[in-house]
Amino acid sequence: ALPPPHGFSVQCYSETLEAQQRHRLHVQQALRGATERGEMSLAFQPKLRLVDQRITGAEALLRWHHPELGQISPGMFIPLAEASGDIFAIGEWVLEEAMRTIADWRQQGVLGDNFHIAVNVAARQLARKDFAEGLLCQLAARRIPARFLAIEVTESGLMSDMQNARQQLAQLTQANIAVAIDDFGTGHSSLAYIKTLPFSTLKIDRAFVMDLEECDVDRQLARTITQLAHSVGCNVVAEGIETAPQAMYLRRIGCETAQGYYFSRPLPANEFTHWCDNWHPHLPSTTTETV
């Protein structure tokens, strides 16, 4: 077939680009006040210790359902919220909701003593001088021991004030809050973080997990990242595990904790507790390992 005339393809391209920009603008406007209107909720994805597949915690992931726009993924709206500054109000809401859930689950006896809820925190939130203090006050007001909460530092842009971020995170780790560097090895989550930020956990990005079975380079990278984390005294979590062989390979290289659709998708709070009640370890033992 002949390629489309030049003018035609350019016009199509600019139309889709324009539509995309219109959609982004629409989303950005809809985002303001979304928490107050009750459009946001949290989903919880279990984290499991690979040696015995015991549930050690859950990551809280933001869900947004807009009455007209429908379900919008955080991968799309979080960067917009970071750019507009709405991330501060949204981040506050996420922390409050996570703490409310911790209190609930402790009361119901769902939350064992070694269980935590991890909340994603954008780099921009850490730029605030009173972030850690505010968070610790909220915990104290609710009488929640700090160890029940964990933080995952995510970011879509460059961290502008590493020194302040370091101070904020140091305050949190001193209070016994586990700090993870999220999506390690991709985008802006770089080696400079390891050098500067106080953290206890490194999260291997899904990008290194998804092709473990086919790709020897990815296996070496996952192994090297795990060794790197251990060499600086940190734990490793792998995200995005979708198959048993992936989980088994990560277990073999010493990665402590696993998370992914293979175990469970992120679930609403009530479904999560139900899932925990019915959870039985099912990962095959090492003798049948294939990767």
Residues near ligand C2E (CB under 6 A): 45, 61-62, 73-75, 78, 94, 120-122, 152, 154, 182-183, 206, 239-242, 260-261, 266
Nearer to Mg ion, 30 or 64 (CB): 64
Query: Which lies closer to ligand C2E via its Cβ, residue 17 or residue 47?
Result: 47
- Give the type of residue at 77: F
Beta carbon nearer to ligand C2E, 187 or 198: 187
Residue 75 touches which of ligand C2E, Mg ion, none (CB < 5 to 8 A by kind)?
Answer: ligand C2E
Q: List the beta bridge partners of residue 181.
A: 153, 202
Compare residues 111 and 266 and give the one whose CB is closer to Mg ion.
266
- Residue closer to Mg ion by CB (options 162, 210) is 210
239 in contact with Mg ion (CB under 5 A): yes
CA distance 102 to 116: 8
Q: Is 183 an interacting residue with respect to Mg ion (CB under 5 A)? A: yes
Least separation in angstroms between residue 100's CB and Mg ion is 19
Query: Does 182 help bind Mg ion (rule: CB under 5 A)?
Result: yes
Q: Tell me how far, at minimum, the Cβ of 203 lies from Mg ion, in Å.
A: 5
Neighbours of 7 (CB within 10 A): 8
CB of 151 to ligand C2E, least distance (A): 10
| 155 binding Mg ion? (CB under 5 A) | no
| Stretch in the footprint of Mg ion (CB under 5 A) among 26-34, 124-132, 145-153, 227-235 | 145-153
* Residue number with CB closer to ligand C2E (152 or 226): 152
> H/E/C letters for each residue in the chain?
CCCCCHHHHHHHHHHHHHHHHHHHHHHHHHHCCCCCCCCEEEEEEEEEECCCCEEEEEEEEEEEEECCCEEECHHHHHHHHHHHCCHHHHHHHHHHHHHHHHHHHHHHCCCCCCCEEEEEEEHHHHCCCCHHHHHHHHHHHCCCCHHHEEEEEECCCCCCCHHHHHHHHHHHHHCCCEEEEEEECCCCCCHHHHHHCCCCEEEECHHHCCCCCCCHHHHHHHHHHHHHHHHCCCEEEECCCCCHHHHHHHHHCCCCEECCCCCCCCEEHHHHHHHHHHCCCCCCCHHHCCC
Q: How far is the CB of 79 from ligand C2E (least distance, A)?
A: 9
Name the binder of 242 from Mg ion, ligand C2E, none, CB < 5-8 A by kind: ligand C2E
**Residue 266 touches which member of ligand C2E, Mg ion, none, C-beta under 5-8 Å by kind:** ligand C2E
Using CB under 5 A as the binding rule, whether residue 152 contacts Mg ion is answered as: yes
Smallest gap from residue 186 Cβ to ligand C2E (A):
9
- Judged by beta carbon, residue 30 or residue 200, the one nearer Mg ion is 200
Q: How many residues bind Mg ion (CB under 5 A)?
A: 5
Q: By the criterion CB under 5 A, which residues form the site for Mg ion?
A: 120, 152, 182-183, 239
